[in-house]
């Protein structure tokens, strides 16, 4: 055992060993100085807390910035999609307006009273094309979306921005799908409308040609009915290529014009009926043959200018107009029909036609007074070979040879 009272190797007792330092204070570097662990722990906690706050703050700001940018991008994409969608809606509405005008016109054409103007094949084609357009128009209209809802204010908190951006992206996808579907419907509607316009144009143009042909089939008919028909034919043909709603009101007018022409024809024949009917018809045909293409109607009376059969005269008078292509109206006494087909009857009718044909040869003579007008008509009858003095010579005298030569160029 070790002796507790033994001396140390240095010769001193173990109980009297002194500390290495005798100073009452130790330096900070002294490893034997007592430490304060609580203070160091507190400082460490504060440092970590501050660091955590900084990290959290930086993460929050970063999240705010990132989500705000993502929201802005989503809004920009939505605006682009809605702009494209609005353009498609505008195009579709334009085509819908055009198709509506075309179906309105088709309805009017198909509903017009039957006068044989619209061929059965044209009617069937037009009906089918009209139904197709109406079907496509209904489909396109159903795809037009309601007006865009107002976009809510931009959220502040990033988690709200994330949710809002997701909703906006969904709206964007919906807008793009809607625009695509509407564009396809608009294309189909446009094609159907073009087909309707093509078939409608063909149908009404053919109908206008048939209406024009009614003029020749209804001679005699009064000038006003013929002029109305001609105007209607020209108007329909002018509007036919567009086949738009203006034609919807014009085409029925063509049908009415044909009906009035037919009625005028019947009324004229009825007015000329009686024992002189055949002679009147022959005289009118003869007069029209002298001036082909000049529109002339005829009126018959017992006396013209107070002259006629009771006083042994053949009498006639003519009025003419230069507008609407030129036309004339000739009044003849019944005595001319009674005297037909004498040379005198031929000559006086030729004289009256000489007045009527001036609508074609305006400016060839001095038309400022009655005498020069009568001299022209007489000269024209002579130039046509009618030498009987009923050609106007007996009433107005012989015209100069120069006027006859000029009149011979008016045909």
Distances (CA, A) of 212 to 199, 232, 243, 255: 20, 9, 19, 11
Give the span between the Cα atoms of 266 and 272, in whole angstroms: 10
Give the span between the Cα atoms of 404 and 371, in whole angstroms: 15
Residues 281 and 395 in one domain: yes
Residue 276 domain-assigned (yes or no):
yes
| Residue ranges making up the domain that contains 317 | 272-407
Cβ contacts of residue 310 below 8 Å, gap of 6+? Answer: 302, 303
Beta strands 316-321 and 327-333, pairing class: antiparallel
Q: Backbone phi, then psi, for 46, in 5-degree steps?
A: -60, -40
Residue 108 domain-assigned (yes or no):
yes
Residues 249 and 280 in one domain: no
**Could you tell me which of 335, 328, 333 has the C-alpha nearest to residue 354?**
328
Q: How many CB atoms lie within 10 A of CB 353?
A: 26
Strand partners, 303: 308
What pLDDT is attached to residue 367? 85
Residues 239 and 289 in one domain: no
Residues 251 and 314 in one domain: no
Conformational region of residue 363, where left means phi above 0, alpha means psi within -120 to 50, and beta covers everything else: left
Half-sphere exposure of 148 (CA within 13 A, CB side): 19
Using DSSP's 3-state secondary structure scheme, residue 38 falls into helix
**Could you tell me which of 313, 293, 294 has the C-alpha nearest to residue 304?**
313
What pLDDT is attached to residue 113? 86
Residue 9 domain-assigned (yes or no):
no
Residues 370 and 399 in one domain: yes
**Could you tell me which of 45, 264, 87, 277 has the C-alpha nearest to residue 182?**
87
Residue 228 domain-assigned (yes or no):
yes
What pLDDT is attached to residue 153? 77
Using DSSP's 3-state secondary structure scheme, residue 13 falls into strand
What pLDDT is attached to residue 152? 73
- Show which of 255, 285, 303 is a domain's final residue: 255
Residues 161 and 249 in one domain: yes
* pLDDT tens, per residue, the chain with 411 residues: 333 333 333 443 344 444 444 344 444 444 445 555 566 666 556 655 565 544 455 555 666 676 777 888 889 998 999 999 999 999 999 999 999 999 999 999 999 987 689 999 999 999 999 999 999 999 999 999 998 877 777 887 878 888 888 899 998 999 999 999 999 999 999 999 999 999 999 999 999 999 999 999 999 999 999 999 999 999 999 999 999 889 999 999 999 999 999 999 999 999 999 999 999 999 999 999 999 999 999 999 999 999 999 999 999 999 999 999 999 999 999 999 999 999 999 999 999 999 999 999 999 999 889 999 999 999 999 999 999 999 999 999 999 999 999 999 999
Query: What pTM, to 2 d.p., does this model score?
Result: 0.74
Give the span between the Cα atoms of 366 and 152, in whole angstroms: 85
Using DSSP's 3-state secondary structure scheme, residue 275 falls into coil
Q: Backbone phi, then psi, for 136, in 5-degree steps?
A: -65, -35
Half-sphere exposure of 149 (CA within 13 A, CB side): 8
Number of domains in the chain: 2
Residues 222 and 284 in one domain: no
Q: Backbone phi, then psi, for 225, in 5-degree steps?
A: -70, -35
Give the H or E element holding residue 279.
Answer: helix 277-290
Give the span between the Cα atoms of 204 and 395, in whole angstroms: 52
Residue 29 domain-assigned (yes or no):
no
């Amino acid at each position: 055992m070790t002796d507790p009272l033994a001396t140390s190797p240095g010769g001193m007792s173990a109980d009297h060993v002194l500390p290495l330092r005798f100073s009452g204070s130790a330096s900070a570097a002294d490893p034997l100085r007592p430490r304060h662990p609580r203070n160091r722990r507190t400082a460490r906690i504060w440092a970590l807390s501050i660091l955590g706050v900084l990290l959290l703050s930086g993460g929050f700001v970063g999240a705010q910035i990132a989500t705000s940018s993502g929201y802005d991008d989503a809004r920009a994409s939505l605006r682009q999609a809605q702009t494209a969608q609005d353009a498609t809606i505008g195009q579709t509405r334009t085509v819908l307006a055009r198709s509506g005008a075309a179906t309105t016109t088709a309805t009017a054409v198909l509903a017009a009273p039957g006068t044989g103007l619209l061929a059965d094949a044209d009617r069937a084609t037009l009906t089918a094309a009209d139904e197709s357009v109406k079907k496509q128009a209904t489909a396109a209209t159903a795809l037009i979306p309601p007006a865009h809802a107002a976009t809510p204010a931009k959220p502040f908190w990033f988690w709200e921005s994330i949710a809002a951006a997701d909703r906006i992206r969904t709206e964007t996808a919906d807008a793009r799908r809607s625009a695509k579907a509407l564009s396809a419907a608009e294309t189909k509607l446009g094609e159907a409308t073009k087909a309707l316009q093509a078939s409608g144009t063909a149908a009404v143009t053919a109908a206008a040609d048939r209406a024009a042909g009614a003029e020749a089939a209804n001679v005699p008919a009064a000038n006003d009915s013929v002029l109305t028909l001609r105007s209607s034919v020209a108007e329909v043909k002018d509007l036919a290529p567009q086949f738009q709603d203006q034609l919807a009101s014009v085409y029925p007018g063509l049908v009415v014009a044909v009906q009035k022409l037919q009625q005028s024809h019947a009324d004229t024949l009825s007015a000329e009926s009686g024992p002189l009917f055949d002679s009147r018809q022959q005289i009118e045909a003869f007069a029209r043959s002298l001036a082909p293409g000049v529109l002339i109607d005829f009126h018959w009376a017992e006396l013209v200018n107070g002259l006629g059969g009771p006083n042994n005269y053949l009498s006639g008078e003519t009025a003419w107009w230069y507008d609407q292509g030129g036309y004339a109206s000739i009044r003849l006494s019944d005595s001319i029909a009674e005297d037909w087909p004498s040379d005198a009857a031929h000559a006086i009718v030729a004289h009256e036609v000489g007045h009527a044909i001036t609508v074609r040869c305006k400016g060839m003579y001095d038309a400022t007074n009655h005498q020069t007008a009568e001299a022209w008509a007489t000269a024209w009858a002579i130039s046509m070979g009618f030498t009987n003095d009923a050609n106007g010579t007996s009433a107005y005298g012989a015209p100069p040879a120069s006027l006859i030569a000029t009149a011979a160029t008016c045909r």
